[in-house]
Amino acid sequence: MMDIIEIENHHTSGLYTKRPLAIVRGQGARLWDSEGREYIDCVGGQGAANIGHANPQVAQAIAEQAQRLISCPEMFYNDRRAAWEERLCQVSGYPRVFLCNSGAEANEAAIKFARLTTGRSEIIAFKRAFHGRTFGALSATWEKKYREPFEPLVPGFIHLTYNDRQALQAAVSERTAAVLVEVVQGEGGVNPASAEFLSVAEQVCRQHGALLIVDEVQTGFGRTGRLFAFQHYDLRPDLVCLAKSIAGGVPMGAVLIGGRIGSLPPQTHGSTFGGNPLACAAALASLNFLLENRLPERAAELGAWFIEQLRGLSSPLIREVRGLGLMVGIELKQKVTPYLQALMSEGVMALPAGLTVMRFLPPLVIEKSDLERVVEAVASVLAKEAAEWTK
């Protein structure tokens, strides 16, 4: 293990805060490190592993496609891409899709499509939003520590208070190209939007000729208990940004393009790797697995149960438990890093969302018995710490 860590430490960019272990294998919702230690995985590839690790159906699709054709830019048509685009449009009810390679790229594309379509420049985003780290996506992201070192950012971005309907109503105007919103803020602390807020967002956009962009990079592909989180509500976003779990963990991003977007002039946007047959094969196999195994429904049921169990924990350290489906956060009254470390020693991997929220994004194939163990581990870690306090 030391070898792996030393080598990475020697050559890495240094941009990441890493945990001192090397993960070398996964299966379903379990991970193993190089010392053979087993973990219940509630990091879930930061949301990219909804269908579980080492999924045989997806592995086979990738292997077959790798032996047939990996590279095929969109200057040519391709059988896998055609099949994937058709299936994604069919299950989402959207007529068109743009394919790229990450969440940031999906948001970049959606922002550009909104400016192209409306001829306006203003983009309304929200406090605590996270949309990615490229310049357009970063300009829509709220957190100062990500933004400030890189200013000046792209002009035309405004941040309003999330879930504040009045502020939104007052801000959207004939200058607004788009409102960009997460249905549940992920990195910002697992904050679900209210149905009324989302409905107002759609209404004011329609009223003023602006577009509604929903960032489903983290909430998509079954995570919240529906295939897409906007489907919990009577909502019809104009653009939907997807990535993370879209292709079973293989890099891909996508933007679903609604009917209010006109034709996008050729050459105004594009990507070399976008729509490559390898990622398309993985995406198709992954979506088929997700739907055949009713993983969105599973996330809804298990998530409701998990949230209820966590709400039942009577720890003085817990401020609030919140979430939707298997996107779950526990807000503590203090910083979460030591608790995440303690959880890891109990064999449970979880991730932070901001400084004070513990976040759980398990693969949706996780067994209930594993979630029971997660609840026990959380209870034990918080109890130990509370005992330390009262000493």
The residues annotated with a catalytic role in the active site are 130, 215, 244
- Kindly report the backbone phi and psi dihedral angles of residue 246, in degrees, each rounded to the nearest multiple of 5, phi listed first: -60, -35
Q: Taking contact as CB under 6 A, which single stretch among the options 114-122, 127-135, 220-228, 296-304 is the one that binds ligand PLP?
A: 127-135
Find the binding residues for ligand PLP in span 170-189 (CB under 6 A). 182, 186-187
Q: Helix or strand or coil: residue 328?
A: strand
Question: Which one of 130, 273, 306, 339 is in contact with ligand PLP (CB under 6 A)?
Answer: 130
What does the alpha-carbon distance between residue 362 and residue 47 come to, in Å, rounded to a whole number? Answer: 8
Q: What is the total count of residues that contact ligand PLP (CB under 6 A)?
A: 14
Minimum CB distance to ligand PLP smaller for 80 or for 131: 131
Minimum CB distance to ligand PLP smaller for 27 or for 134: 134
What does the alpha-carbon distance between residue 5 and residue 171 come to, in Å, rounded to a whole number? Answer: 49
Question: Which one of 55, 92, 117, 218 is in contact with ligand PLP (CB under 6 A)?
Answer: 218
258 binds ligand PLP (CB under 6 A): no
Minimum CB distance to ligand PLP smaller for 252 or for 377: 252
> b/e map of 94-124 (b: 16 or more CB within 10 Å)?
beebbbbbbbbbbbbbbbbbbbbbbebbbbb
The distance of closest approach from Cβ of residue 193 to ligand PLP in the complex, given in angstroms and rounded to an integer, is 12
Residue with the closest Cβ to ligand PLP? 103
Minimum CB distance to ligand PLP smaller for 253 or for 377: 253
Question: Which one of 51, 178, 243, 307 is in contact with ligand PLP (CB under 6 A)?
Answer: 243
103 binds ligand PLP (CB under 6 A): yes
What does the alpha-carbon distance between residue 267 and residue 250 come to, in Å, rounded to a whole number? Answer: 26
The distance of closest approach from Cβ of residue 356 to ligand PLP in the complex, given in angstroms and rounded to an integer, is 18
Question: Which one of 41, 85, 202, 215 is in contact with ligand PLP (CB under 6 A)?
Answer: 215
Alpha-helix residue ranges (DSSP H) falling in the chain:
2-11, 44-47, 56-66, 79-92, 103-118, 135-140, 144-147, 165-171, 195-208, 277-292, 295-311, 337-345, 368-390
Q: Which of 290, 343, 365 is nearest to 52 (CA)?
A: 365
Contacts of residue 36, Cβ cutoff 8 Å, sequence gap at least 6: none
Minimum CB distance to ligand PLP smaller for 52 or for 136: 136
375 burial (CB, 10 Å; 0-12 / 13-18 / 19+) is middle
Here the tokens at position 361 are 């994004």
Q: Taking contact as CB under 6 A, which single stretch among the options 103-111, 261-269, 292-300, 349-357 is the one that binds ligand PLP?
A: 103-111
Question: Which one of 115, 131, 226, 232 is in contact with ligand PLP (CB under 6 A)?
Answer: 131
Q: What is the largest CA-CA distance in the chain?
A: 69
Question: Which one of 114, 181, 212, 217 is in contact with ligand PLP (CB under 6 A)?
Answer: 217
Give the number of other Cβ atoms within 10 Å of residue 47's Cβ.
23
Find the binding residues for ligand PLP in span 43-102 (CB under 6 A). 102
104 binds ligand PLP (CB under 6 A): yes
* List of residues contacting ligand PLP (CB under 6 A): 102-104, 107, 130-132, 182, 186-187, 215, 217-218, 243
